[in-house]
Chain A
Amino acid sequence: MRICVHKATKRILEMQSGATPGTLLKNAESAGYSAADIEEREVDEAGYQAALAADPVELAQAAALAALKAAREVKAQDFLDNLPSWAAVKTAIEGATTIAALRVIVLKLARVVYWLARDKAD
């Protein structure tokens, strides 16, 4: 594959899997880039991944996705912690004989409802 990179920012302007040499340079120049500011090169998959790892926009997007994934994992774990199974919930409610025990159950249920309503931890 071939990629075209803006040298100063390391932003990947374009990737094409099978382009003939010079195609990406011509595309970038048509978009207003100066030939001196850009570089076209052929890379393998590892080289492409290395270029992505140096691209600031791709890095920011990867960080945002990682944060989103982490938040989803926290949400999933909160669900598991508070609603481990229907049997556990049923047993807890049927076995609750004090206000304190009921408060524990209500707090667990409220935790899950809060996640569902607001889609955030706090």
Chain B
Amino acid sequence: MANNVYAFTALTGGAAGALDAIAGAILATGDLAFGIADGKILAYKFDSTSSATESSPEIIAPDSGNGRWLLATNHYKMGSFTRVLNAQDGNVSYTGVGFKPSALIIIGSISGTKYFTVGLTSAIAGGVIFVFLSDSNYGLVANRCVEFHSGAAAEGASLASFDNDGFTLAWANDAGGINATGSCYYLAFR
């Protein structure tokens, strides 16, 4: 079945011309919508199975019916995760990015402490700069993108893979890791 293409002049609000005013009942997976909103040219693809929480401009829910309009021109995605810093070594998958990234920026800390890590990675190379909690000096490690370091023990991660809906990090600890939870924010680039 051929997909339909729609135009819009606003994203939400339900008025004529808004993307969310198009009834879900007439939409099918793969339908496209193009328009200008807030001064930007935007393109959306409809997913009739999605029930993701509406979050303009990334995810637009029709005011009636099921499914979601998913922004197709999004080139980055911001998210967050936590990591128990003395957990068993191994790979951890992070999903919900909406595309297969090609690069990541990850920053992290342990709330209320001076732990700090900022790292970058592509599929080819990565690196992280972090603070040794013991003396507040900076350290750096190539080919890792996260590093929490007490001075005596550490927990860090390198990129294992970029996946269709996110990425996988390979976590490993040194000297048993740290008995705390690290919180990280990431910016994934398409």
Contact = CB atoms under 8 A, between A and B. Distances in A.
A116 interface: no
Chain A interface bracket (under 10, 10 to 19, 20 to 34, 35 or more):
20 to 34
Contacts, number: 66
B31 to A, nearest CB: 22
Contact of B84 (A1, A14, A32): A14
Contacts of B181: 12, 57-58, 61
Interface of B: 77, 79-84, 87-88, 90-97, 110-113, 165-166, 179-181
Given A31-B90, A32-B88, A61-B112, A16 B179 contact: no
Interface stretch (A20-28, A76-84, A89-97): A20-28
Interface of B is mostly: strand
Interface of A is mostly: mixed
A26 B165 CA distance: 15
A16 B93 CA distance: 10
B79 A16 contact: yes
A27 B166 CA distance: 14
